């Protein structure tokens, strides 16, 4: 927000609001004096000739100039007005200015009849008789008087006091002028970009109609337009004529913060304006008392602009709401949100892109810019300003009337040297901070902008700056803000201001922070490090030289962070080529990948160190002796390929995170690890040489990573009760058995992940004591042959994943797991070993997902009572060898998805519950039972197909599918299955079948419909085909009328599954007209009134096809006849029935032509 741009204004020529013309002897001490005082009290600048001798005919030049420079002229006609040549000549001048300068003239008829003035009767006639006698030589002048009187008396807006009191007449005239003046004064608002939105929001907070005292704050960063908005709101409220908007007094106190130490003067100004009398109180306590006592019965409007808390302005200018009368409203503008947090707050943010361009153009060009070169350069400036009105105004004004060359030079300069006017304005917020908060702000501006709040708070806390409170202050002062992703952010120009402050220090030789690699390199080369240096945070891809001499001089260095992503051929970091013999003991945050020495300097005693990261280093050990590091919370020594042992942890009682991943030569972890009672995460991933691990005696531990620890055969002993949510990862480790002590102490844990332990043969029976266990994962334990017999004792178990194991017979007690929702098995199996699942009639009442894929199930492997699983929603039986399924499978009333793909020996599609939504089968079975699938399965939406992936299979299946749909199209669309939904196929085809006539590439299926496309009783619906990624389960079908007057929209529920969500899949579905057409919305139209069909997808569609289907289709009939003439059977399975599979290679033959299927994929109807 910004004040309006400089422009010529008619108001600029007026020196006065009102000129008063009157006959002194008639009204000077009565009506006119009262009128003048009221005008003055209302702030209307009025010219009244105090001397007003009214002698002679010629009015003085001073008076004539005052008339010309007054926007309004009030002429008080009284009985003796016409007796004065002075008054008459004054009137002539006024009427001339009315014509010449478009001034407004308001006549007041004070105890005279307007017609007497208009026609010069009664006292006016008598006066003119005397003038004509006395000045008979000046007939022309007398005529001008008559014309002026006649014209003035005929003006609208006059006031006649004969039928009202003087007070009413004065009130009418002053109100009339005030209203017109306010409307004129508010005309500047039209040039303030975006002001209307702000005014509406603030007025809603003010709630003028409520008879209480209310304070509203306008808050935002410096230069964002708070004062402009407050002034606009103030002026707007004063213009309103409604009684609720009438205030007894109003005052706008501007730039309060600039009046440091002058609170008493501000109080006097406020009281003087509100009470309309001079206030001269000598101290702020007297002023405070007078405000509290003298304003409590007055309804006032006050704006306190640019307040901060250093001098307690609010306390002395608006300390209590009881100071003011009911209906009073106080508006406060501030950069500090904390000052007004108990009031309604309107937060002002930077302008949007369009608004920013509009404001900049006002100042840079005074209008919209048409020149393309300037347009392009303007966008660069606007981008730099990031919507800050102050910056847009300053930069626009500085570039106004400049040439292209100057613009380019100025833009280049502002990127390297910020504009001083902008910086100084923004720096006010910085100057108002406490020293420790200033340091925190500079750290964020130089290093931490855009970084995650939690991580940065750890850095700031390490610097003893009261981080939590300090950040709140910075947020309240509008210097920083937190994004919805919990990142610390600030305006570009605020950051620029912070870095400008640091660069000023650099120019003085006292630089405190470095963030540019080139500055760091220069300091190292020239050995210019000083005691003033506090923080270094640089990122680089190049090798850095670190000077030991430069490091020695930086004894106050608290942050050293060198982020380097250069790697050597052996996978280690390359950071620098020099040795480091000195490190500041003041370090709190130390990050230096590729540290070059075998150990840290013996003199390094960083007692305040919080974070240590030396990944990819040359360390053999950190240090030999025990260090006292009470503040250390995080150690990262990952990829320390030479590290053989960890340090002694005795002096690190607050350590929370220890990262030793990829330390391939690490053989042992120091036994003192148990002293770290606050340890949360310990990660030893891929420590291939680790053989000894101390007893885990830490209650706080949440994560223990032991994956790929090849040499670790024994799981560490645990002698304390851990957190229920602890995660222990042992995948691909050398562990052979789990200690019973682990389960003895961990009976309360809820998740147990034992996946990927390649040498694990059995689970101890004590695992069944984990009564709180909810999830158990033994996936990928290739030697695990069985589950404990007591597995059914895990009363709260909800998920069990035993895929990729050797388990072939789950214990019978598994059926007692009545809270189990997800159960998965798949066996590597031995030849001749078949999986058998126990009877389930007595349990598994909550089971929703059962995965027995590739378990080598044969007939009898599934329990005959499987139909008793009343909650089962998804059953995966793919890749098994049964020929028949239990009949009770038809009793699975909750079943929605059934996967029977790659079940090569299955000869018959089982009877299924009619509520099934998705069936996953092989191509030949899908075609064989096509009629049954699409006409009898009322809720079936998709059928999954096993792989038919190469071109030969694709062409054969596409053709066969077309025949089946064509032959059965009437039955399909007439069936109940398509009465309210669509039937769809998803298949890994490579292209859209050719029989889809309308094809294209877009995010929606779209086709112009032919004239009279809808034939009653013959049109069936639409066949639609598309490829791409389906994001969610809905698509929107829209029919658009030719005249674009009406349309019909219908949501189509498409069944969705992650397996089908691949870009290579082709989605095919049938949409009957009944799904689209809603007679209640037709408004007398027929389908033929609609000429376009469009289908929108919630996903990324690559290509599409569409075909209209009819009962009688010549193209279809011709194709069917051709096949009949060639004696080719038109049965539902066609030649697909002759597919046979080779079990070992997963290849299959069609009419003795071999086609490799490649990697198994699934596709779905």
Active site residues: 90
User: What are the C-alpha distances in Å from 444 to residues 487, 662, 1069?
Assistant: 11, 32, 55
Closest CA to 493 of 391, 606, 398, 345: 391
The sign of the torsion formed by the CA atoms of 337, 339, 341, 346 equals: negative
The contacts of residue 65 (CB under 8 Å, 6+ apart) are: none
Structure tokens, 1160 = 């198994």
Q: Which residues pair with 482 in a beta bridge?
A: 488
Determine the Cα–Cα distance for residues 819 and 858; give it in Å rounded to an integer: 28
Buried b (16+ CB within 10 A) or exposed e, 441-456: bbbbbbbbbeeebeeb
- Show the CA angle centred on residue 796, arms to residues 790 and 800, nearest 5°: 70
Q: Could you tell me if 1013 and 1108 are in contact, meaning their C-beta atoms sit under 8 angstroms apart?
A: yes
| E strand segments, 129-266 | 159-160, 214-219, 249-253
What is the rounded end-to-end Cα distance, in angstroms, of the chain? Answer: 57
Other CB atoms within 10 Å distance of the CB of residue 1154: 11
Neighbours of 1090 (CB within 10 A): 23
Residue 565, exposed/middle/buried by CB under 10 A (0-12, 13-18, 19+)? exposed
Residues paired with 561 in a beta bridge? 537, 591
Quick one: three-class SS letters along 720-746?
CCCCCCCEEECCCCCCCECCHHHHHHC
H helices of 417-554, where? Answer: 420-431, 435-443, 453-462, 467-476, 492-507, 517-526, 548-552
Q: Count CA atoms within 13 Å of residue 765 on its CB side.
A: 3
Query: Is residue 986 within 8 Å of 1060, Cβ to Cβ?
Result: yes
Residues 882, 903: contact at Cβ < 8 Å?
Answer: yes
Q: What are phi and psi of 113, to 5 degrees?
A: -80, 130
What residues form DSSP beta bridges with 567? 573
Q: Which two tokens stand for residue 835?
A: 């999986």
Whether 226 and 254 have beta carbons less than 8 Å apart is answered as no
Helix axis angle, 284-294 to 263-275, nearest 10°: 30
The kind and range of the H/E element at 948 are none
Distances (CA, A) of 139 to 85, 132, 134, 150: 13, 7, 11, 17
Q: Where are the beta strands (DSSP E) in 832-882?
A: 849-851, 874-876
User: 3-class SS at 249?
Assistant: strand
The string of DSSP codes covering 892-912 is: -TT--EEE-TT-TT--SPPP-
* Residue 921 · residue 945 · CB < 8 Å: yes
∠ Cα 939 942 943 (to 5°): 115
Q: Diameter of the chain by CA atoms?
A: 143
- Measured CA to CA in angstroms, residue 721 lies from 753, 754, 776 at distances of 17, 19, 19
Rounded CA gap, 634 and 759, in Å?
A: 33
Output the six-digit token pair for 616. 């990819």
Burial of residue 1077 (CB within 10 Å: 0-12, 13-18, 19+) is middle
């Amino acid at each position: 927000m910004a004040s309006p741009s400089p422009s010529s204004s008619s108001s600029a020529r007026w020196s006065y609001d009102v000129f008063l013309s009157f006959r002194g002897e008639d009204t000077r001490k009565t009506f006119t004096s009262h009128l003048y005082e009221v005008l003055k009290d209302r702030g209307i600048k009025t010219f009244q000739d105090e001397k007003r001798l009214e002698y002679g005919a010629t009015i003085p030049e001073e008076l004539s100039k005052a008339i010309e420079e007054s926007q309004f002229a009030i002429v008080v006609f009284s009985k003796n007005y016409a007796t004065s040549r002075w008054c008459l000549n004054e009137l002539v001048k006024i009427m001339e200015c009315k014509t010449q300068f478009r001034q407004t003239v308001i006549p007041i008829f004070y105890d005279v009849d307007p017609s007497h003035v208009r026609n010069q009767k009664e006292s006016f006639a008598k006066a003119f008789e005397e003038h004509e006698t006395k000045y008979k030589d000046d007939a022309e002048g007398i005529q001008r008087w008559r014309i002026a009187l006649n014209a003035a008396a005929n003006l609208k807006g006059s006031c006649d006091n004969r039928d009202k009191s003087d007070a009413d007449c004065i009130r009418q005239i002053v109100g009339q002028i005030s209203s017109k003046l306010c409307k004129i004064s508010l005309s500047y608002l039209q040039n303030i970009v975006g002001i209307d939105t702000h005014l509406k929001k603030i007025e809603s907070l003010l709630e003028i109609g409520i008879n209480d005292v209310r304070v509203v704050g306008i808050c935002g960063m410096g230069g964002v337009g708070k004062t402009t908005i407050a002034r606009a709101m103030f002026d707007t409220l004063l213009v309103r004529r409604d009684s609720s908007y009438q205030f007894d007094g109003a005052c706008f106190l501007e730039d309060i913060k600039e009046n440091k130490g002058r609170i008493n003067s501000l109080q006097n100004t406020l009281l003087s304006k509100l009470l309309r009398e001079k206030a001269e109180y000598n101290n702020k306590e007297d002023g405070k008392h007078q405000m509290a006592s003298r304003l409590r019965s007055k309804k006032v409007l006050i704006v306190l602009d640019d307040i901060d808390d250093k001098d307690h302005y609010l306390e002395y200018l608006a300390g209590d709401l009881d100071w003011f009368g009911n209906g009073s409203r106080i508006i406060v503008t501030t950069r500090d949100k904390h000052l007004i947090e108990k009031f309604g707050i309107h937060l002002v943010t930077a302008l949007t892109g369009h608004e920013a361009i509009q404001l900049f153009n006002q100042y840079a060009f005074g209008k919209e810019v048409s020149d393309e070169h300037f347009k392009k350069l303007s966008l660069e400036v606007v981008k730099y300003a990031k919507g800050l009105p102050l910056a847009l105004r300053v930069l626009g004004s500085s570039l106004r009337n400049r040439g292209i060359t100057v613009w380019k030079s100025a833009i280049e300069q502002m990127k390297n040297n910020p504009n001083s006017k902008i910086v100084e304005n923004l720096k006010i917020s910085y100057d108002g901070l406490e020293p420790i908060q200033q340091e925190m702000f500079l750290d964020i501006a130089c290093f931490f902008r855009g970084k995650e709040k939690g991580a940065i708070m750890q850095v700031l806390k390490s610097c003893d700056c009261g981080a939590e409170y300090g950040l709140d202050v910075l947020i309240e002062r509008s210097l920083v803000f937190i994004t919805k992703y919990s990142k610390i952010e600030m305006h570009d120009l605020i950051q620029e201001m912070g870095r400008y402050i640091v660069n000023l220090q650099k120019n003085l030789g006292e630089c405190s922070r470095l963030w540019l690699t080139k500055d760091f390199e220069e300091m190292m080369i020239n050995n210019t490090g000083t005691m003033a240096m506090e923080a270094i945070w640089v990122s680089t891809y190049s090798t850095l030289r670190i000077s030991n001499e430069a490091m020695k001089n930086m004894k106050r260095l608290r942050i050293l962070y060198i982020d380097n992503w250069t790697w050597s051929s052996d996978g280690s970091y390359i950071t620098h080529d020099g040795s480091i013999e000195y490190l500041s003991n003041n370090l709190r945050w130390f990050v230096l990948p590729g540290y070059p020495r075998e150990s840290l300097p013996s003199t390094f005693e960083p007692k305040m160190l919080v974070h240590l990261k030396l990944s990819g280093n040359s360390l053999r050990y950190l240090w030999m002796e025990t260090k006292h590091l009470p503040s250390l919370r995080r150690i990262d020594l990952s990829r320390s390929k030479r590290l053989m042992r960890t340090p002694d942890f005795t002096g690190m009682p607050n350590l929370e995170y220890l990262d030793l991943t990829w330390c391939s030569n690490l053989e042992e972890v120091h036994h003192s690890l148990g002293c770290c009672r606050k340890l949360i995460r310990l990660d030893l991933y891929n420590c291939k040489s680790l053989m000894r691990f101390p007893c885990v005696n830490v209650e706080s531990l949440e994560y223990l990573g032991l994956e790929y620890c090849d040499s670790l055969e024994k799981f560490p002993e645990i002698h304390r009760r851990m957190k229920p949510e602890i995660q222990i990862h042992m995948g691909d480790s050398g562990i052979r058995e789990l200690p019973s002590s682990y389960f003895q102490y961990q009976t309360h844990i809820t998740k147990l992940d034992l996946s990927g332990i390649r040498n694990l043969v059995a689970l101890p029976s004590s695992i069944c004591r984990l009564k709180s266990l909810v999830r158990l994962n033994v996936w990928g334990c290739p030697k695990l042959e069985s589950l404990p017999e007591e597995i059914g004792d895990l009363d709260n178990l909800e998920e069990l994943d035993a895929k990729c194991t050797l388990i072939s017979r789950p214990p019978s007690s598994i059926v007692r797991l009545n809270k189990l929702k997800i159960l998965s098995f798949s066996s590597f199996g031995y030849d001749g070993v078949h999986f058998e699942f126990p009877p389930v009639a007595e349990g598994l009442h909550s089971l929703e997902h059962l995965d027995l894929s590739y378990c080598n199930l044969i007939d009898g492997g599934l329990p005959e009572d499987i139909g008793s699983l009343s909650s089962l929603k998804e059953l995966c039986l793919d890749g098994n060898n049964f020929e028949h399924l239990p009949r009770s499978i038809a009793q699975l009333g909750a079943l929605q998805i059934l996967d029977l793909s790659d079940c090569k020996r299955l000869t018959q599609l089982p009877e299924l519950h009619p509520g099934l939504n998705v069936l996953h089968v092989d191509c030949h079975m899908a075609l064989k039972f096509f009629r049954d699938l699409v006409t009898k399965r009322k809720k079936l939406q998709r059928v999954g197909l096993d792989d038919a992936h190469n071109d030969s299979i694709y062409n054969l299946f596409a053709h066969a599918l077309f025949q089946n749909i064509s032959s059965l199209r009437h039955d399909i669309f007439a069936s109940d299955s398509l009465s309210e939904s669509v039937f769809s196929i998803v298949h890994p085809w490579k292209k859209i079948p050719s029989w889809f006539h309308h094809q294209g590439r877009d995010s929606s299926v779209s086709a112009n419909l032919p004239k009279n496309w809808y034939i009653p009783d013959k049109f069936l619906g639409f066949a639609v085909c598309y490829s791409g990624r389906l994001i969610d389960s809905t698509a929107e079908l829209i029919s658009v009328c030719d005249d674009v007057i009406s349309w019909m929209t219908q949501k189509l529920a498409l069944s969705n599954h992650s397996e089908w969500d691949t870009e290579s899949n082709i989605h095919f579905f049938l949409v009957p007209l009944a799904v689209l057409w809603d007679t209640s919305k037709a408004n007398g139209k027929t389908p033929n009134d609609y000429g376009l069909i469009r289908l929108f997808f919630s996903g990324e569609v690559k290509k599409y096809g569409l075909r209209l289907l009819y009962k009688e289709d010549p193209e279809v009939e011709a194709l069917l006849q051709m096949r009949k003439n060639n004696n080719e059977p038109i049965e539902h399975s066609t030649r697909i029935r002759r597919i046979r599979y080779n079990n070992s290679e997963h290849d299959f033959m069609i009419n003795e032509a071999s086609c490799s299927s490649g990697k198994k994929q699934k596709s779905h109807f």
